[in-house]
Structure 1
Amino acid sequence: MVRLMPKPVWCYLMKLSHIGILVKDIDEGIKHHKALFGFEQLGEIVDDSTQRVRVVLMGHSEDDPVKIELIAPLGEDSPVTDLLRKRQSLYHLCFEVSDIETAKAEARKSGAIVISQPVEAPLFGDRKICFLFTKDHYVIELVESEH
């Protein structure tokens, strides 16, 4: 019998927003995911100089409850460049939260490490994002919902 553990408090504060996937080239990544899953590009490609990445959202439609975010390095100093030398891969799960500071604090209480403090993200209309690393080695992005 599987024994279910109670959810950490911070899990009640969020809903799945998107899945981040690392790609070496954003244009090739778009073509590949269109062919593989029939996804469409949802919006423009964004060069995020703060995160040093090129990003774009994809899905079957704007109404998809969960989208994928393709992430490519914006130069050799990008934080994803070394990861891509190994392989293209699933990079993170992103959860939407109403209050990023509260969710971040609750995640830390559960043992998560904050790997980037909240910053504005142009891909999400300058809503705040931050990244966490969990005890189970997951990279989690939090994005603050629109108020």
Structure 2
Amino acid sequence: MDLKFHHLGIACKDIDQTAERYSLLGYTRGEQIFDPLQNINICFLTHPEMPLVELLSPADIKSPIVQILEKNGTTPYHTCYSVTDITEAIGRLKKQQYIVVSTPKIACAIDNHRVAFLYHKDMGLIELVEE
């Protein structure tokens, strides 16, 4: 399985405030997008010498990240890896005791590539994005 680091997902209550803090570190803010499948607002931050960062904020109280934010405040949420074949990667990770949290879906924030989320008790939440 050929995994490549893609981005770090950060759960936050307010994208504007968090993006402003990242801008002080040299990050540039991209366009904010609403993802109806995940019920979240998303904004990617870029830096010429640093990893890509994805900010995620809840669209409403039904968003999957609300409870995490209530418990932890702004916090790392997931690590994303790109893969060439998402179905094959999921199969291999399931054999390593990863649990599929979300089956492959189209991600409007990542140029309509398919993404899936998996969880492992020793790794936390990971996202796979198909190249």
TM-score range, shorter chain: over 0.9
Alpha-carbon deviation of 1:59? 1.9
Gapped regions of structure 1 (runs ≥ 5): 1-11
The Cα shift of 1:47 comes to: 0.3
Give the one of 55, 68, 73 matched to 2:58. Answer: 73
User: Given the alignment of the two structures, is residue 38 of structure 1 paired with residue 23 of structure 2, yes or no?
Assistant: no
1:1-147 map, 5 Å: 12-35=1-24, 37-41=25-29, 43-61=30-48, 66-86=51-71, 87-145=73-131
Q: Deviations over 1:92-115 (max 9, x none)?
A: 100000010000010000110000
Unaligned stretches of 5+ in structure 2? none
> 1:88 offset after TM fit, Å?
1.2
- Structure with greater Cα Rg: 1
Identity of aligned residues (%): 33
Retained in 2: the 8 A contact 1:97–1:144?
yes
SS of residue paired to 2:129: strand
3-state secondary structure, aligned to 1:96? strand
1:106-131 deviation digits (Å, cap 9, x = unpaired): 00001100000110001111100010
Superimposed CA distance per residue, residues 3-27 of structure 1 (whole angstroms, 9 cap, x where no aligned partner): xxxxxxxxx4210000001110111
Q: How many residues align?
A: 130
More strand by share: 2
Q: Which amino acid aligns with 1:23?
A: C
Distance 1:138 1:73 in 2: 20
Pairwise CA RMSD:
1.3
TM-score, normalising length: structure 2? 0.94
